[in-house]
Amino acid sequence: SIIASKIAHTMELPEHIIEAVRIGGLVHDIGKIVVPSEILNKARKLMPAEMELIKLHPKMGADIFRDIDLPFHLTEMIEQHHERLDGSGYPNGLKDEDISLEARIIEVADTFDAMASDRPYRYSPGREAEVAELKANRNIKYDVYVVDAFLELLETDPDLQPSLMHA
């Protein structure tokens, strides 16, 4: 995604990592192809079984790329983009440094994109709520350095728009 690569750039990461994050951001939700569109577009709260199916998408997406030899860890980025520092994420409940830096960048960009985009079941809560979510969970769910880079990015580009990767 554009936002993920901008965060990586703001963090002054090497160009090859910025490019890897850009590609990972573009395909991180590819596993949703196994989730029926009726569930993805449901206008009400998901039933527990439906949520469990959604939670499979990171692992299913990673499986698509698992046997492809790439110069970076795309499968980790895809499989880990819903993991959280405190272990509350999915699909593996990873914590802290067990989550790749690239995945931690994609998860912050993905959180912003998800909150900034209207969904069938809710409207976007707005920029203040998006920023408040990231600040409130900085160093709890989200990497402190990644959140800080995102907030810096917002200061330099206050009109930053979601990348429409959830459209």
Average pLDDT estimate for 8-19? 97
pLDDT reading at 6 higher than 80: yes
Average pLDDT estimate for 138-160? 92
Average pLDDT estimate for 136-163? 90
Report the pLDDT value the prediction gives residue 56, as an integer from 0 to 100: 95
**Between 14 and 118, whose confidence is greater?**
14
Per-residue CA distances from 48 to 39, 53, 54, 71, 82 (Å): 12, 9, 10, 37, 17
Q: How many percent of the chain have pLDDT more than 70?
A: 89
Report the pLDDT value the prediction gives residue 160, as an integer from 0 to 100: 76
The least confident of 54-68, 90-104, 113-127 is 113-127
* Residues in CB range of 145: below 8 A, 6 or more apart: 11
Six-digit token pair at 54? 């959604």
Report the pLDDT value the prediction gives residue 167, as an integer from 0 to 100: 36
**Helical spans, DSSP H, in the chain:** 2-10, 15-27, 37-40, 48-54, 57-65, 74-80, 101-116, 127-136, 144-156
Confidence (pTM)? 0.90
pLDDT reading at 124 higher than 70: no
d(CA 43, CA 137): 27
